[in-house]
Structure 1
Amino acid sequence: MMLQISTPINDETPSSFLDNQLLFVILGLIALVFVIIRVAKFLSEMDSSSASK
């Protein structure tokens, strides 16, 4: 795996690290949904403009 997250052996991860990781995952999902919506709107505008010609 290219992006492998290694867990420490003593299992004492600071909660701030887990909070930051969760925050980055949520922000990444929001950005991905935003990009998908923009692409879908762009493609539907292209489709409707080519159909009207």
Structure 2
Amino acid sequence: MWRKSSYSPDGNNCVEIGAGVGVRDSKAPTAPHLPVSPAGWEAFLDATKGDQFGRA
């Protein structure tokens, strides 16, 4: 099952996460997805919460 972020303002320009599956572009749901392990996803979330990516 795929979920969109609740922070996506218009529901179009976002990514979706699939539990135990990976990440995909919501505009191209049939395109290949990026596989992400549970540990990898947790590390990504921790990095974003800690602002390790900086501001663009």
Q: TM-score range by the shorter chain?
A: 0.3 to 0.5
More helix by share: 1
More strand by share: 2
Select the structure with the greater relative contact order (CA < 8 A; seq sep ≥ 6): 2
With normalisation by structure 2, the TM-score equals 0.34
